Amino acid sequence: MRRLCLIGCFMLCSLAITRAEQLSPYLCDENLSPVVANDSPVLLPYVTLMGTTLGADGSLTFINTSDKKILYYLVVMEFSDSQGNYLFSAPVYNVDEKRQIPFEVPFKEWLIANWPGGYMEAIPARSKSREVFGTHLVALTCPTSVRATAIWLKFEDGTEYKHVSKNLNLSPATRKPVKFKNIKQAKTWGPVTVVGNIKLDEQGRVTSTKIESPNERFKTWLTKEISGWEFTSPWVSGKPASVTLPFLFIFANNADARTEAEAMKKQGIQGPILLLSFRN
């Protein structure tokens, strides 16, 4: 009986250890309270953020404290780490009946690239609403704070409220879905998993690519593919600027993107990355 108990206890312990070693599908699971301008007619009490290997998305809670309906709204949120370092931005906004953005801002391409879809109706006076947002960037570092660096509201009576920070930051986003022109050639080297960096200029054009791989032919192929991608203009402290975007490229049937992302974190790579995963 004692022997049976010992075997049973060992099996339960082994099962518990196995489950503990399994990684959660979520890289981040955060509930944050945004910092907003003191004169804002909307309160933004809650932001929920769920980060996976497909990107980071969530919802923003609005409370309209005015006596007027908000027809159109635009909010840009900037997420930062525990040291106050900027990580990435995400917008929340709605569109008009023609699906046009009713705000004259110089970063409409960035808004379009980060639009999560949906109709997102007007917000009635003295009411609460929850609106969704998303970004394709994968958060290796989970944010611990968020601030609304832009709030632009258009009310039903034609009046507006506008607050746009002079130090607005915008993380780069792909203007079009990433596609490989010659993905069949990648099968020559598959399975393969590599990390690297993409250097973007002020217009979001790829100026150089660094790939950590000993295979020169593979590096040449991937560099050529990446050179044709289009990104939105990155902004740093209120103006377009060049940035470096880390990426993880996976081309394998049995590779686990979650495990590979954790491996990047152990290498000291932090912040947001572009994660590309394909089956060979």
Is the pTM higher than 0.75? The answer reads yes
Question: What span, in angstroms and rounded, lies between the C-alpha atoms of 151 and 13?
Answer: 52
Asked if 46 and 154 sit in the same domain, the reply is yes
Same structural domain for residues 46 and 144? Answer: yes
- Are residues 140 and 35 part of one domain? yes
pLDDT band at residue 225 under the 50/70/90 scheme: very high
Residue 5, domain member (yes or no): no
Whichever domain contains 37, its CATH number is 2.60.40
109 and 74, same structural domain?
A: yes
- Asked whether residue 175 is assigned to any structural domain, the reply reads no
pLDDT at 1: 44
Residue 211 belongs to a domain with what CATH number? 3.30.2420
Residue 2 is predicted with a pLDDT of 38
Query: At 119, is the pLDDT very low, low, confident or very high (cuts 50, 70, 90)?
Result: low
Name the residue range of residue 41's domain. Answer: 28-164
User: Considering 164, 194, 223, which residue would you say is the last residue of a domain?
Assistant: 164
Other C-beta atoms lying within 10 Å of the C-beta of residue 181: 9
Indicate whether 56 belongs to any domain.
yes
**40 and 145 housed in the same domain:** yes
Q: Are residues 74 and 110 in the same domain?
A: yes
Question: pLDDT-based confidence at 227, cuts 50/70/90?
Answer: very high
Q: Are 132 and 117 within 8 A, CB to CB? A: no
Token digits of residue 99: 């699906």
Number of Cα atoms under 13 Å in the Cβ half of residue 83: 6
Mean pLDDT, the chain, whole residue set: 89
Per-residue pLDDT at 34 exceeds 90:
yes
Asked if residue 23 is part of any domain, the answer here is no
Q: pLDDT tens digits, residue range 188-200?
A: 787 889 999 999 9
How do residues 99-113 score in pLDDT, each as one tens digit? 899 999 999 999 999
Token pair 């525990």 in the structure block, residue: 82
Query: Measured in Å, how far apart are the chain's first and last C-alpha atoms?
Result: 51
How far apart are the C-alpha atoms of 213 and 202, rounded to whole Å?
Answer: 27
Look at residue 19 in the predicted model and tell me its pLDDT.
39
The answer to whether residues 49 and 126 belong to one domain is yes
Q: Are residues 80 and 149 in the same domain?
A: yes
Residue 20 clears pLDDT 80, i.e. is over it: no
Tokens 């699906």 — which residue? 99
The more confident residue out of 76 and 190 is 76
Residue 151 sits in the same domain as residue 227: no
Is 207 among the domain residues?
yes
User: pLDDT class for 18, splitting at 50, 70, 90?
Assistant: very low
pLDDT classification of 230: cutoffs 50, 70, 90:
very high
How far is the C-alpha of 71 from the C-alpha of 125, rounded, in Å?
Answer: 10
**128, 65 Cβ separation under 8 angstroms:** no
